[in-house]
């Protein structure tokens, strides 16, 4: 069964607008300078982006070949998927706005760096990453395919789990007990789970 976005104009346009909005936020963030005035992200950003593109390609092939379709019709995956994409976009935008100038694509500790524990950071330490994961889950659902869901969601979650380890090591080293106490009060991505 082909995804509804492949043969319904309204669903396809809604998906395109949603993806454009997600892309626009990433373009705006990418242009922000780091603490040294650079606008280029570090190598790990390119690794994450490249791996994500490989996962997307694999999901696309599985979707086009109509392997392992999701059960239950064609509309629910599109509706739930696009809704998840908007939730992911909103969470990422809220996270970026909450951190303000402390949000960077690269792992960098600024001179006056401090723990931010308001907004979504009150509940999870990495809500911007969670936003991307939720957005990716939405894309996978829109594909209406089990393989796409596993490849996209599994791939991006593993990548961010690795990135989080590196980032938290740097934050504990730079901020010491303030960040260690914050880690005890909050979940990495999902309260009660991880």
For residue 15, being part of any structural domain is answered with yes
Q: Is the model's pLDDT at 40 over the cut of 50?
A: no
Q: Is 29 exposed, middle or buried (0-12, 13-18, 19+ CB in 10 A)?
A: middle
Residue 37, pLDDT above cutoff 70: no
Report the domain count for the chain.
1
Each residue of 176-193: pLDDT tens digit? 999 999 999 999 998 888
Is 192 domain-assigned?
A: no
| Residue 43 within a domain | yes
* 58 found inside a domain: yes
C-alpha 173/C-alpha 181 separation (Å) is: 13
38 has pLDDT over 70: no
Domain that holds residue 8: 4-185
- Cβ neighbours of 55 (radius 10 Å): 23
- CA 121 – CA 111 distance, rounded (Å): 20
What CATH number should be reported for the domain holding residue 57? 1.20.120.1630
Question: How is residue 65 annotated by DSSP?
Answer: T
Q: Say if 86 falls within a structural domain.
A: yes
Q: What is the pTM of this model?
A: 0.84
Q: Where are the alpha helices (DSSP H) in the chain?
A: 9-30, 43-64, 75-99, 127-142, 146-175, 177-185
Query: Six-digit token pair at 25?
Result: 């936020």
Q: What is the pLDDT of residue 43?
A: 61
Q: Taking residues 146-160, what's their average pLDDT?
A: 86
């Amino acid at each position: 069964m082909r995804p509804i976005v492949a043969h319904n104009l309204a669903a396809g346009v809604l998906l395109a607008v949603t993806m454009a909005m997600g892309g626009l936020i990433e373009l705006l963030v990418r242009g922000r300078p780091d603490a040294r005035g650079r606008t280029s992200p570090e190598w790990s950003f390119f690794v994450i982006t490249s791996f994500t593109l490989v996962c997307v390609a694999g999901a696309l092939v599985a979707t086009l070949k109509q392997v392992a379709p999701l059960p239950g019709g064609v509309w629910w995956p599109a509706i739930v998927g696009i809704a998840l994409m908007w939730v992911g976009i909103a969470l990422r935008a809220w996270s970026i706005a909450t951190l303000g100038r402390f949000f960077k694509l690269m792992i960098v500790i600024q001179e006056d760096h401090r723990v931010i524990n308001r907004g979504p950071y009150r509940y999870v330490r990495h809500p911007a990453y969670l936003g991307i994961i939720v957005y990716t889950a939405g894309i996978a659902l829109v594909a209406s395919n089990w393989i796409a869901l596993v490849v996209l969601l599994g791939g991006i979650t593993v990548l961010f789990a690795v990135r989080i380890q590196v980032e938290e090591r740097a934050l504990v080293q730079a901020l010491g007990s303030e960040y260690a106490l914050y880690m005890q009060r909050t979940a990495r991505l999902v309260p009660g789970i991880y």
